[in-house]
Amino acid sequence: MPRRDCLNKWENAEDALHRTITKNGDTRGDYTAQLVLADYWFARGRCLLAGGKADEGLKAFDESLRAGGENRENLNNIGSACAEAGQLDAALKRYARALELDPEYELSLKNLGKVYLQQQRPDYALGLFDRVLKQGPADYEGLFHGAQCLAQLGRPVEAFQRYQRLSQFYPDDPAAYREMGYLLQATGDLQGAQQFYTQSLSLDRNQPQLALQLSQLHSNATSNPQQPGLPQIPSLPEMPSLDPQSLMPPMPNPGPTMPQLPNLPSAAPPPAGPGAPPAQ
């Protein structure tokens, strides 16, 4: 965040804090006042980080947590502010603490995974994005960043398949096609790469670097259709069409079935009354 914006937010938070103190006097035990105080320290911390004062900024975030409480939302917000300022270790600490409080908190799962990716630790990140996909198989970030992890781990086929699945959930998103093109080009499949780059550009023409790369790739493919010595990604199985019902969790086991009731004997015929015909 630009320093000027940080200063504005800090000044606004400081004004709100002063108004609250002037109105209420002693703010201890006042929930609203504590939130105002937490917001003040949070805004101050961001401003200090933007000004290059990392130690003071992180201390301000600690004060914000003391005022507003150490809950998953506050921890995640502070982690994101740290990550934005490049303080990745501090961000990791906050996200990890949020997940200690709630191991399935989706925002912190994603954000911690992104920090691990920035730190070139895709093995740690992949497990987090897989946990996101267990909660929602069509989650965009879980699929996209999980595929990035697989590519960095040297598992291009699995990465390609995850991008392919992403393109099925989000067929109008150019990123999945672009990334599949990158993977194919890395393995020497220039023709396949061109097809995916073209598809990506058809969805978003505002990709000048990709357009230049496609032009250069076309020139290279004309003179050298296949680069020798690079492995090919094997043919991938056709992805089945996705049935929304298949994404629903299985119904719980209703328990043991009721025993079969024996057949009841037929009722005896009513006694014949006067004048009734004799039974056959």
* pLDDT tens string 236-252: 444 444 443 443 344 44
Residue 64: Cβ-neighbour burial (10 angstroms; 0-12, 13-18, 19+):
buried
Cα 199 from Cα 178, distance rounded (Å): 8
Give percent of the chain above pLDDT 90. Answer: 63
pLDDT for the residue numbered 34: 85
Q: What is the pTM of this model?
A: 0.71
Smallest Cα–Cα separation from 218: which of 195, 194, 184? Answer: 194
Each residue of 244-274: pLDDT tens digit?
Answer: 344 334 444 444 443 444 444 444 444 444 4
Own/partner contacts of 242-250, CB < 8 Å, gap of 24 or more, are: 242/168, 242/169, 247/137, 247/138
pLDDT for the residue numbered 35: 87
pLDDT at residue 28 above 70?
Answer: no
Which tokens is 239 given?
A: 């992805």
pLDDT for the residue numbered 65: 95
The amino acid sitting at 49 is L
| Banded pLDDT at 235 (limits 50, 70, 90) | very low
Q: Which of 25-29, 167-171, 175-179, 198-202 has the lowest mean pLDDT?
A: 25-29
């039974």: which residue's tokens? 279
Instruction: Give Dmax over CA atoms of the chain in angstroms.
Output: 113
Q: Which of 7-21, 52-66, 84-98 has the lowest mean pLDDT?
A: 7-21
């025993």: which residue's tokens? 259
Cα 123 from Cα 137, distance rounded (Å): 20
Q: Which of 31-35, 116-120, 127-131 has the lowest mean pLDDT?
A: 31-35
Smallest Cα–Cα separation from 201: which of 168, 209, 145? Answer: 209
């105002």: which residue's tokens? 36
Q: H/E/C letters for each residue in 140-195?
A: HHHHHHHHHHHHHCCCHHHHHHHHHHHHHHCCCCHHHHHHHHHHHHHCCCHHHHHH
pLDDT at residue 99 above 90?
Answer: yes
Cα 153 from Cα 171, distance rounded (Å): 26
Distances (CA, A) of 180 to 4, 22, 188, 207: 40, 59, 13, 16
Q: Which of 40-44, 111-115, 116-120, 218-222 has the lowest mean pLDDT?
A: 218-222
pLDDT for the residue numbered 195: 96
